[in-house]
Structures are given as structure tokens and as C-alpha cells.
Structure 1
């Protein structure tokens, strides 16, 4: 459920953004994804395991109301995010991290150039 909420929140933020902001957002997606993956890998390495998140349904008995507002017992289904530890190959995670850190400076340069170009295309 959280990824859906994040998507809705991002969409709402983008609707309030300027053309320049949207241009920067579009042109820095790879940098943001890489930074996010670096953070994830660093966390995995520090913990020694990854965390797998899933959204799972659960059912419970609760109180519902009929069309007249009278309460009655009913079965409801909700969803919750469940986190489970997952074994990782720490050496492989370190290799992936090194590769991304090598790539990061180039992505940062590209993002800086994109920001400058967006500022020229869409002055505020």
C-alpha cells in the first residue's frame, strides 16, 4: 500500500510544481534511482541481510453499519505491509555498491547539466 501512497503523493507534488521543476524531476530520475539503490545496498551490507516488503491481506471481525446506521458484526479485509529478512551475498552487494559509486559522479554531472538546461528552457 505504501508504494501506491508514494505514487499518489509524487503525483500531487508534481501538479504543484513549475515547468522547471518537472523538467528537473524528469531528467534526474536515474540519479535518484541510483542514490536510492546505493542507500538500500549500504543498509543491506550493514545489517547483513536484505528486507523484503510485501503487502498482505488480513481478515478480522469488526463492526459495520447498515444503511440505517445500525451496527452489526461483519468480516473485513484490510492490508498491511510485512517485512521479512532475506539472506544476501554480502560480497555481491559490495560489488554492486562499488559499481554504482563509480557511476554516481557521472550521473551527478548529467543532473547538474540537466538542471542548468531546465533553468534556461523554463526560467522562473
Structure 2
């Protein structure tokens, strides 16, 4: 995972995927966003509860010596910067995480129903 860059990469990936999608697919994608977000958060909370801690991800720069090329293409040694994701365990309130999980799970049927209705409406609006 890329930490802070993750939303940017996810958005770019979504754009690439959506560029090949039909109007119906895009309509469904837009109208099922709440369900996907809830399912993702449920997975995160389940992982936290199972582990007993959360994982905080940060992206940190690091430098290394690499090979660069001058304007004539000749190689020379240079310092380069890259980024890596660092994961650190973070203590959590398990009871709070379980409460959040229960709340999301109770909302899931309504979100699934809303998504199902949206899929039907999108199919009617944009028949393939």
C-alpha cells in the first residue's frame, strides 16, 4: 500500500477502469459508492479487532545512490529519492471498534438495498 498516495492512485485506477465502462457501469459505480465504502471500513475494523491493534501507514522518503545520465547519455553516480510505506501498530479501543463494526453491519442491509435499487434504475436509464 502507498499510504497517503493511496487515494490518488485509487482515483487514477478508477478513471482508467471507468474510461472503458458503459454509461450504465458508471451510473452503478457512482450510486454504489456508499456500499463499497461501508464494506471497506467493515473489513478494516474486522482486521483491527482480530489483530487487537490498528495499522497506521505512512509514506516516507529515502535516498539512495543510483545511476543517472547526463544530456549526452553518459552515466554518472547520483543521489535519488524514492518513497516507501512504513506500517506501525497503533493501539485501539477494541470495544469502540466493535461498536463501530456493529453500527456499520446494521447499516449494511439498507445500503445493499439502496445499491440494488440503483443498479435497477441505472439499467433502465442506460440499457446496454
Aligned twin of 2:84: 80
For structure 1, the residue ranges without an aligned partner over 5 or more in a row are none
Aligned twin of 1:30: 34
Q: How does 1:3-18 map to 2 (within 5 A)?
A: 3=6, 4-18=8-22
For structure 2, the residue ranges without an aligned partner over 5 or more in a row are none
Of the three residues 15, 40, 43, the one matched with 1:39 is 43
Of the three residues 64, 68, 75, the one matched with 2:68 is 64
Secondary structure of 1:68's match?
A: coil
CA distance in 2, matches of 1:51, 1:104: 24
C-alpha RMSD over aligned residues: 1.0
**Structure 1 range deviating more: 108-117 or 64-73:** 64-73
> In the TM superposition, what is the alpha-carbon distance from 1:42 to its structure 2 partner?
0.1
Length-normalised TM-score, structure 1: 0.96
Q: Deviations over 1:64-86 (max 9, x none)?
A: 11111211111111111111111
Length-normalised TM-score, structure 2: 0.93
Q: When the two structures are aligned, how many residues end up with a matched partner? A: 124
Aligned twin of 1:53: 57
Aligned twin of 2:127: 123
Secondary structure of 2:39's match?
A: helix
CA distance in 2, matches of 1:14, 1:84: 34
1:113 aligns with 2:114: no
CA distance in 2, matches of 1:8, 1:26: 15
1:99 aligns with 2:103: yes
CA distance in 1, matches of 2:24, 2:81: 43
Secondary structure of 2:127's match?
A: coil
